[in-house]
Structure 1
Amino acid sequence: MTAQTSGALTVLVTGASSGIGADVARQIVAAGHRVYGTSRNPATVEDPIAGVTYVRLDNADYASAAACAAEVGAVDILINNAGESAAGAFEDTPMDAVEHLFAVNVFGPVALTKAVLPGMRERGRGTVVMVGSMLASFPVAFRTNYAATKAALKGYAMALRREVAPYGIRVVTVEPGTIATGIGERRTIHIGDDSPYRAEYETVAAATRANEAKGISSTAMAKTVVQAALSEQPKPFYARGNRAPVVFALQRVAPRQLVLDLTARIHGLAKIRP
């Protein structure tokens, strides 16, 4: 697939202060494009990237999406990357925490996408990239709410792709596998000290830490995001990490229960039939 060659593009990357977002912003600047990167507190970005203009965005504050879009102006490419990670027992997670996670990981990106779409539609071009997670395709116990938010984001992207296609707008989903970004240290966890789920949660948590320690780098993952963003004819879906080509091929041909069992096994859980 060929990259866009229509001169310098204006690219808005959310969550550009660290991790995948920072590497995406860095690579797009290196490609010669204008980059705006969001942060909840632009003035406190610890390692600002030369060539990136930082603007405020709080995904949980939908009004900030409109303010961000107004500040940036015309956007050629929007990369919805910002989000939060969460884990724990479904029963132990309070509803306000579930609502907050959906606000940050789903409704915030939706609000920002809605804010930039009119301009893209009027100009007859644009690309929106939703950065999700392979947990949307391969959900695992004790990541229920997080997997649900990423599945929702994927659903929005897949449905929206055809809706805006007549106006020259492309919508793409990118699903990272396990990435070595240190996100586990910032993950919100809900598990009671005396929770009946605690032993199995600890098993999954330990497996997750081990998988993340040997995951692919955020720089490598960012290359896939940038490829999707700059392509003239992007595919609807990209995935990288966790042997993505193999596991997605397996998902297409294997019984769903087998795929769920294998996903659980990778996270240290034994196969159990209710």
Structure 2
Amino acid sequence: MSAQSKVVLVTGASSGIGAEVARQFVEQGHTVYGTSRNPETVADPIRGVHYVALDNADYDSAVACVEHVGIVDILVNNAGESQAGALEDTSMDAIENLFRVNVFGPIALTKAVLPGMRERGSGTVIMVGSMLSSFPVAFRSNYAATKSALKAFALATRREVAPYGVRMISVEPGTIATGIGERRSVHIGDRSPYAAEYQTLAAATRTNEDAGIAASTMAQVIVDAALAEHPKPFYAKGNQAGLVFALRRLLPSQLILDITARKHGLRKIRS
């Protein structure tokens, strides 16, 4: 892509990674639209970011958002919800809603920008996933599954849209210090047999998140990928990504699952 100013649409731009991505694009001279379910209530608006309404759970709002913005050169699908708990204790409604917000909403928004990108012969779509997709852990099954779906959409669609100058990129952040744990929905029954182990995992997760990399560090990876002349299909950052992905290729799958569980405070158990 050329160095000229781009029109960038960043979802979930009111906080965390999304806010830092929006900030860095503005600092580089690009026109940036940031989405929020309630743009007028953004607590710490970034100067230069144009806030627009988007509710990932409402597919019609994706169409309205793109109609409002107009041309979109770069779409960063970052908005989503975090969920934890035991699969057995999580209702189907909660699982379906998570997929609606984390998968189907971003896909609806991507579908809304693709015709314009294809007709102009250029564009970039980035799906912001999670390293839990590549390194799943107990009590995060639903969240990991949504992020795995996003990655599959990005990697499979990459070749589909490539002839039209459109690039699809998957990005997996590791543990990020954004305070997302405070907003995570938790599904554990009052008398759940899984309660004790979940609390062990939750305590380890809090510790890991407190020591996670800064949102600005992850945002730089996303911005650099979006502006690269020939971006890679996949980027990961945090949790010693270079090392752990190399080990993932070399070690048995069960050992990787055991190591991931241990990182989250859970002991090894053979099933």
Does the residue aligned with 1:234 lie in a helix, a strand or coil?
coil
Does the residue aligned with 2:111 lie in a helix, a strand or coil?
helix
In the alignment, what sits opposite 1:149? 146
> Could you tell me which amino acid in structure 2 is paired with residue 159 of structure 1?
A
Distance across 2 between alignment mates of 1:124 and 1:6 = 16
TM-score normalised over the length of structure 2 = 0.99
Aligned-CA RMSD value:
0.6
Report deviation, 1:270: 1.0
Does 1:242 pair with 2:248?
no
Deviations 1:84-106 (A, max 9, x none): 00000100000000000000000
Distance across 2 between alignment mates of 1:68 and 1:201 = 38
Does 1:12 pair with 2:9?
yes
Does 1:174 pair with 2:209?
no
> Could you tell me which amino acid in structure 1 is paired with residue 180 of structure 2?
I
Distance across 2 between alignment mates of 1:130 and 1:25 = 15
Distance across 2 between alignment mates of 1:12 and 1:122 = 18
Distance across 2 between alignment mates of 1:218 and 1:241 = 10
Report deviation, 1:138: 0.3
Does 1:80 pair with 2:77?
yes
5+ residue gaps, structure 1, are none
Q: How does 1:45-64 map to 2 (within 5 A)?
A: 45-64=42-61
Does the residue aligned with 1:82 lie in a helix, a strand or coil?
coil
Does the residue aligned with 2:88 lie in a helix, a strand or coil?
coil
> Could you tell me which amino acid in structure 1 is paired with residue 67 of structure 2?
A
Candidates 101, 104, 108, aligned match of 1:104: 101
Does 1:187 pair with 2:187?
no
Does the residue aligned with 1:178 lie in a helix, a strand or coil?
coil
Candidates 60, 65, 68, aligned match of 2:62: 65
Report deviation, 1:6: 4.0
Work out the number of aligned pairs and report it.
271
> Could you tell me which amino acid in structure 1 is paired with residue 220 of structure 2?
K
Report deviation, 1:5: 2.9
Deviations 1:123-150 (A, max 9, x none): 0000000000000000000000000000
Distance across 1 between alignment mates of 2:3 and 2:190 = 56
Percent identity among equivalent residues? 72
Does the residue aligned with 2:256 lie in a helix, a strand or coil?
helix
Does 1:265 pair with 2:262?
yes
> Could you tell me which amino acid in structure 2 is paired with residue 180 of structure 1?
A
Candidates 11, 32, 36, aligned match of 2:33: 36
Distance across 2 between alignment mates of 1:173 and 1:271 = 30
Candidates 193, 198, 203, aligned match of 2:195: 198
Does the residue aligned with 1:136 lie in a helix, a strand or coil?
coil
Distance across 1 between alignment mates of 2:216 and 2:142 = 27
5+ residue gaps, structure 2, are none
Q: How does 1:127-146 map to 2 (within 5 A)?
A: 127-146=124-143
